[in-house]
Amino acid sequence: MSYPADDYESEAAYDPYAYPGDYDMHTGDPKQDLAYERQYEQQTYQVIPEVIKNFIQYFHKTVSDLIDQKVYELQASRVSSDVIDQKVYEIQDIYENSWTKLTERFFKNTPWPEAEAIAPQVGNDAVFLILYKELYYRHIYAKVSGGPSLEQRFESYYNYCNLFNYILNADGPAPLELPNQWLWDIIDEFIYQVSGLVWNNWLEQRALSPLLASLESAQCENMRVAV
């Protein structure tokens, strides 16, 4: 099954700062102004096109179904089945085609919605959000003008720690399979990002110390072994 990204030619380009409706938040009443500001902050997080919401839900369901099937087969001591192969193929199509097409249409030079914004759409699924953030930060590195902020660079690094720890801390094989191309891109991107953090002129020495300290922490111990 392929996600029908091409069916949405008529969708307007996504503006991450758009707000559905105009009003003046300054009423002269401090309490009312504060309430409006909070409402604005909450609702701007929700301005995500329906096509993107539908895609995220489909992406999540595909990953979730694969993990559920993998857990079942591991518990039953069965070898990888045609069901697993089909789900991996669907994820590959999402990764190589649907994500790319939707990025070009809606987020060519802007970030995808933050993980916190799409989390309710996927039931706050921690594993899926790790995978989503891998794509999210990689897109910022590659396409967003100015690249990631220092905070985003560290967030991306810690997200890779979470991904590697999820795989390495599992009791037995982790119930997750990804397409070979995505796996290769994950390793390649991780090396690229860490090299940038350590060797490029992005960080002053005082900003680099938390990264070096974290490499010695228990949180990333398994990740360091893998690398």
Contact of 137 with 195, CB cutoff 8 Å = no
Instruction: Please check the confidence at residue 9 and state whether its pLDDT lies above 50.
Output: no
Model confidence at 38, pLDDT cuts 50, 70, 90, reads very low
Q: Which of 214, 211, 9 is nearest to 102 (CA)?
A: 9
Average pLDDT over the chain, rounded to whole?
A: 79
pLDDT in tens, 142-167: 999 999 998 899 899 999 999 999 99
Q: Are residues 109 and 184 in the same domain?
A: yes
Q: Are residues 62 and 35 in the same domain?
A: no
Global confidence as pTM? 0.75
Report the pLDDT value the prediction gives residue 104, as an integer from 0 to 100.
96
Contact of 178 with 91, CB cutoff 8 Å = yes
Q: Are residues 90 and 103 in the same domain?
A: yes
φ, ψ dihedrals at 164, nearest 5°: -65, -40
For the chain, the domain total comes to 2
Give the dihedral sign, CA 115/118/120/121: negative
Q: Are residues 115 and 221 in the same domain?
A: yes
Separation CA 85–CA 66 (nearest Å) = 9
27 vs 16, more confident: 27
Separation CA 170–CA 181 (nearest Å) = 23
